[in-house]
Amino acid sequence: MSSWLQRQRKQALIDLSQEAGLRQGDELRKDEIIEALENHLRSNATRLSRNPSFQPYYGTTPYKTRSSSTMGGVASDDGEVESVVRGRGRRSTAVKQEPSEDTGASSPAGPSTSALTLREPASTSLTRRTPGRPRSDTRPRLPASPADVADLAEYETTQFYAGLNDFYTISGIPETLERIREVCSSVIGVQMAFQLLEATGLQRATLPWIYLMDVKIGPGIQGMILPAYYPDLFKLLTADFWLPTLLYATTSIFVPALFAYFFNLTTRNVNRHGATVSVARYTIDPLIFNVVKAILTYVVYGQLVGANIFGVENVATVRNAMIGGHQGVLVGCYVCILASVYEAAQRKP
Alpha-carbon distance of 228 to 222, in angstroms, equals 19
**Contact criterion met (CB below 8 Å) for 17 and 40:** yes
What is the per-residue pLDDT for 133?
A: 54
Note the residue count of the chain: 349
Q: Evaluate whether 168 touches 177 at the Cβ level (below 8 Å).
A: no
Per 3-state DSSP, the chain is made up of helix, strand and coil in percentages (nearest 5) of 65, 10, 30
Give residue limits of the domains in the chain: 1-59+156-178, 186-207+236-347
Low-confidence ranges of the chain (pLDDT < 70): 1, 60-144, 220-223, 348-349
300: which residues sit within 8 A by CB, 6+ positions away?
Answer: 251, 306, 307, 310, 315
Please name which of 96, 124, 126, 123 lies closest in space to residue 109, comparing C-alpha atoms.
Answer: 96
User: Quick one: which of 13, 11, 2, 23 has its CA closest to 174?
Assistant: 23
- Residue pair 236/250 in contact (Cβ under 8 Å)? The answer is no
Degrees to nearest 5, angle at CA 285 with 283 and 288: 150
Contact 293, 337 (CB under 8 A): no
147-163 burial code (b ≥16 CB/10 A, e <16): eeeeeeeeeeeeeeeee
The pLDDT of residue 142: 59
DSSP 245-286: HHHHHIIIIIHHHHHHHHS-TTEEEEEETTEEEEEES-SS-H
The Cβ of residue 297 has, within 10 Å, a number of other Cβ atoms equal to 25
**Cα gap 206→319, rounded to integer Å:** 12
Closest Cα to residue 50, out of 159, 156, 174, 153?
159
- Listed in order, strand segments (DSSP E) in the chain are 209-217, 224-231, 267-272, 275-280
Distance, in Å, from the CA atom of 347 to the CA atom of 349, rounded to the nearest integer, reads: 6
pLDDT digits (tens, 9 = 90+) for 139-174: 556 566 788 888 888 888 988 888 888 888 888 888
Could you please report the per-residue DSSP string of 215-240? EEESSSTT-EEEEEEEE-GGGGGSHH
